[in-house]
Amino acid sequence: MTELMTRPTLAVPRLWSPAKRTGKPMRHKVVDLLSAPAARRLPAFLLPLIPIAVFLTLWHLLTAHNVVAWLRFNRMPAPEAVFHTLMTRASSAAFYDDLLASLQRILLGFGLAAVIGIGLGVLIGRSEIARMTLRPFIELIRPIPAIALVPLTILLFPSSEQGIVFITFFAAFFPVVVSTIHAMDSMPKVWEEAAQTMGAGRMSLLLHVIIPGALPGIFAGLSVAMGVAWICVVSAEMISGQYGIGYYTWQAYGLLDYAGVVVGMISIGALGLGTAWLVERIGRRVNRWLPRAAR
């Protein structure tokens, strides 16, 4: 009996222990947890506004004082006039028709360039015969500016709409196909050899190793192609279009509506930003296996 009473007791680990008091009420802890993601997003929201605010301030000061130096700001519309014109145009249905027309042309031309460019780039990257046959022809016509094809598209296509879509496709095609070829060439050979060692066939190798490994380089070309496509579609609309944001900008210049010209430029920039963001988001989603895609 004495032995049982003097035997040391075993220390049993606690599966639960009360939380230490920090002096904070529970509701404050919940607020802190909810506000943590917002605090991380705050710099991403505020930092892009800094250069915009600086640009608008300089623009206002230069136009308000009619500064004439290396550049002439005495004829430049003030930010207030541009904002007033933007609000006036935003209440017009024709403005949204122009935006939608340009956006449709971009999506159609860029989509065709992406599908055909990636397919052709993969073919050239995987086939030596295709490389010897098609690569010289691609390099021959690649330096031709897409906007130089406007006279030919007027002759070849029955409507200006088809011609503008073709110019957009022509401009976006070459960055896509060239980036795809380079992405295929720069992929490590050890990936392919490892997959073949594990018994992967040609189709399985292409779908599960080659194309996924080349996608980061392909999306880099798609991002460049989107910017080039916007440049060319706006230029084509200025020359041969009957509607679209480029046509609106050129018409505003012809009517000496300089505030309207700036509104057109802002609209082009906003559309370009939105489509570039969309391409980037899709690229991050597709390439989520990359370390930087998790940021």
Map out the domains of the chain as residue ranges.
93-286
Per-residue model confidence (pLDDT) at position 16? 46
Per-residue model confidence (pLDDT) at position 13? 46
State how far the Cα of 113 lies from the Cα of 139, in Å rounded to an integer: 16
State how far the Cα of 218 lies from the Cα of 225, in Å rounded to an integer: 10
Arithmetic mean of pLDDT, 213-237: 91
Arithmetic mean of pLDDT, 31-58: 75
Residues 208, 210, 211, 217, CA torsion sign: positive
pLDDT above 70: residue 2:
no
Residue type for position 146: A
pLDDT above 70: residue 24:
no
pLDDT above 60: residue 220:
yes
CA distances for 91 relative to 18, 85, 97, 103, 272, angstroms: 61, 10, 12, 19, 22
pLDDT above 80: residue 179:
yes
Q: Is the pTM of this model over 0.85?
A: no
pLDDT digits (tens, 9 = 90+) for 62-107: 999 888 888 888 888 999 999 999 999 999 899 999 999 999 999 9
What mean pLDDT is reported for the chain?
Answer: 83
CA distances for 111 relative to 116, 123, 197, 275, angstroms: 9, 18, 36, 12
Rg (CA), the chain: 29
pLDDT digits (tens, 9 = 90+) for 233-250: 998 898 877 889 999 999
Please work out, in degrees rounded to the nearest 5, the angle formed at the alpha carbon of residue 42 by the alpha carbons of 37 and 47. 145
Arithmetic mean of pLDDT, 257-280: 93
N-to-C CA span, the chain: 66
Domain 93-286, second-level architecture: Orthogonal Bundle (1.10)
